[in-house]
Amino acid sequence: MPVEVVPYSPSWPAQFALVASDLKQALAGLATARVEHVGSTSVPGLAAKPILDIDVIVDGAEVAAAVAALGSAGYVHRGDLGVVDREAFHAPDANPRRNVYVCRAATLSVRNHLAVRDALRVREDLVLSHPIWRTTTALTCNAPIRVRRGGASCLTHSGATSQIPRRR
């Protein structure tokens, strides 16, 4: 199945806000719960798969309660899918499309999600070097790309960067 990557949509923050409101309501009894928009759709100007990534972050003692709360709100628990300290869920609907995870607070993966998102939000130079951005820019500019180990792509066309849009 091909991966769909689209230009940044200004609707993504509003879509996240609606989902986050519902999740916060479901998690209201949990003292440590917070809902974070992570992944490419959380970075203004960055092309992305049109699927929101949402981390529900809780202290370790509240993971089971968060899993139960999301189940009560119609989310279907899928297990950890091989990622320690992260529980994945199918959303009860597809509007918007989203991946929702309950994550134990302070783990390396959670810290990385938040740090990468925060850095990309403020540093245009990092956005310009992001693999998804570079791949979609190369395709938009009809520049050849090559695939590196791990699936990340990079530009091989020296003129493609002259068409790079700047963040406002």
Give me the domains of the chain, ranges plus CATH numbers.
1-122 (3.30.460.10), 124-168 (no CATH)
Beta carbons within 8 Å of 38's beta carbon, 6+ residues apart: 53, 54, 55, 113, 114, 117
Q: How far is 37 from 81, CA to CA, in rounded Å?
A: 20
Q: How far is 27 from 72, CA to CA, in rounded Å?
A: 10
- pLDDT of 129 strictly over 80: no
Q: What is the pLDDT of residues 81-118, one digit of tens each?
A: 999 999 999 999 999 999 999 999 999 999 999 999 99
